[in-house]
Structure 1
């Protein structure tokens, strides 16, 4: 079968890369008879450039021009077989691609299934900056990936996955391909926490999801077998500058060497000075900011970040490269960077308990689990905090 995208790219050397040609072809597949101006708007291209792409795709045999643009029989077969759109529930897909929150109503039954799965996930380990996003947030990330045309037929990587984004992606794919179809997308997870890896593997096995897990300490470079394989990645890294840079670096090393690939970075809302430092890291890594969605992420019990965080969608460029290709030995997690000793008072008996790296217990979660040393009550109030 002809590689229409490659043939067109040879004729129209786009600075935007091959991915925009793929997006152009998919828009014509999803919207037969679409005007050239509308395709240009959807793929964010000037009309003359969109017209040049259209002409080359027509010449290659993938499109034909009528009252609008539509795929030929060969173009349809290419999108379905090669790009992975065969066997899709097209009505559901079109509904989910619309902006807004219609997906919450349309996938209400899936959210109910996910509630059960998410309620049984392992307890977070705050020492490595884990926090649980809500079920809706996890599925919303998967919807974002779908709308970005970075899911169907793609290889997706989750760099750390205590939010079970891999499970959300897998369940969404299963719903979109009700009869199995030609579903070719694959989802990989890398994480240091064996508890989450084991749990994701069990959920994937029970639900027949296309997920593969790899244990990896991100302080070390990724295994060579994972380099240059993926079309996008998700990460919700430690909320330190070096943590963000390290997780980004590992994810970038796993991406294919192409322009325009997506990076879905979840991060806390930060001060202007910290945000500037983040943006400088993006520049040094050779990635551009495509979109910033405030309050996109909602977390359970993450008061330190106000229970909400932003979604930053980044794009690769010709200059994209890992900022930290070697082993990392500096402070990484919030607790390492800002060690504190906190004192909590039991709400029942007023017993004081010190929590922190030099306290009786390391985290408030551990204290709540064990209960007050005197009366075993599990509710406390913070009365003091001291930086070590």
Structure 2
């Protein structure tokens, strides 16, 4: 069966990437008879661009133009068989993806099931910056993934999963596909054997499409995981190094295409820290697609007032991992507070001491103010010691 997205992508070079072609097809699938203007509005494309893509899809045989635009039989078959939408509860899908939908009403039974599972999960290990998000928050992340059209038929990676997002994604799929669904795969990498065992046992008992593997993210992802995924989730340690490392590992796992979403949960921080975060995003070639303040709710976690933000990032042609090799810097909050680290400016070679009793208290502050000699903002760790 021909791949309409690849075929049209080869014919129409889009700055937005090929994902928008799939999105346009899905809009026609779920809203047969949709107008070109509405297609443009739904896909955030200029009307002429939406019309050009539609024209190519009609020419390829995926769409037909009659009383608006709709999928042909061949297009419908491709979406259902190749993209994995066959058997979906269309009414529920449309309700969940509507902008003003109260998904908690539609998924009340799923929340209830998840709450029982979350109640028995392992205790958090604060030494590695774990915290317990609520079952509702975990499912909210899954619904966001659905709205971004990167769940059904996709490969999803969880970089750390003490929030059991993999389980929430799977339960959402089960709700959407009453007769079963086999196109989606969810992989979890985490250093904590307790959570991996719990997720694995839950997946086996509930027959969920989850695969777990223990991995220390200080090391690069295994080669077989690199370039395999359509999106990833992460709720990293709330340090600049932790965020950058977890994003780097996730980026290495993504397929090489523009517009792949990254779901980053992170504490609300000071303007200075947020500026340093955004410098890291730019350095890694990532764009901020959306920010949702107070999106995540946690049990306990008083240090962050029980809330954190969700930042949706998207890849570009310039996207690359900041850390490609092994990571040797301080990672978790406790490590950062107890260490004195020496960084060398990558432009002029100036050495700067960062941390406890150092020249600068944090790496984010150093990057914001730049090298004291040349004002460059890229540094290499050359020494770390506990104090």
Asked whether the two chains share a fold, i.e. TM above 0.5, the reply is: yes
The CA distance in 2 between the partners of 1:169 and 1:162, in whole Å, is 14
| CA shift for structure 1 position 92 | 1.3
State the partner residue of 1:225: 224
| CA shift for structure 1 position 115 | 0.8
Matches within 5 A, 1:338-377: 338-339=337-338
| CA shift for structure 1 position 136 | 0.5
State the partner residue of 1:159: 159
The CA distance in 2 between the partners of 1:108 and 1:55, in whole Å, is 41
Query: Is 2:214 the partner of 1:215?
Result: yes
Asked whether the 8 Å contact 2:132–2:299 carries over to 1, the reply is yes
Query: Is 2:132 the partner of 1:132?
Result: yes
| CA shift for structure 1 position 293 | 0.4
The CA distance in 2 between the partners of 1:5 and 1:233, in whole Å, is 21
Partner deviation per Cα, 1:106-160 (whole Å, 9 max, x = no partner): 1111111111100000000000000000110000000000010000000000000
State the partner residue of 1:191: 190
Matches within 5 A, 1:1-388: 1-180=1-180, 182-339=181-338
Partner deviation per Cα, 1:255-304 (whole Å, 9 max, x = no partner): 00011100000000011110010000000111100000000001110010
What 5-or-longer segments of structure 2 have no aligned partner? 340-386
Structure 1's consecutive aligned runs of 4 or more residues displaced over 3 angstroms after TM superposition are none
Partner deviation per Cα, 1:197-225 (whole Å, 9 max, x = no partner): 00000000110000000110000111101
The CA distance in 1 between the partners of 2:124 and 2:172, in whole Å, is 24
Query: How does the TM-score come out when normalised to structure 1?
Result: 0.86
The CA distance in 2 between the partners of 1:7 and 1:15, in whole Å, is 16
The CA distance in 1 between the partners of 2:249 and 2:333, in whole Å, is 19
Asked whether the 8 Å contact 1:177–1:183 carries over to 2, the reply is no
Partner deviation per Cα, 1:222-268 (whole Å, 9 max, x = no partner): 11011000000000000000000000000000000011100000000
Asked whether the 8 Å contact 2:161–2:189 carries over to 1, the reply is yes
Computing the radius of gyration from Cα coordinates, the structure with the larger value is 1
Q: State the secondary structure of the residue aligned to 1:296.
A: strand
| CA shift for structure 1 position 23 | 0.5
| CA shift for structure 1 position 16 | 1.1
The CA distance in 2 between the partners of 1:193 and 1:3, in whole Å, is 39
| CA shift for structure 1 position 183 | 3.3
Note the aligned Cα RMSD (angstroms): 1.1
Q: State the secondary structure of the residue aligned to 1:184.
A: coil
The CA distance in 1 between the partners of 2:261 and 2:92, in whole Å, is 23
Query: How does the TM-score come out when normalised to structure 2?
Result: 0.87
Asked whether the 8 Å contact 1:86–1:183 carries over to 2, the reply is no
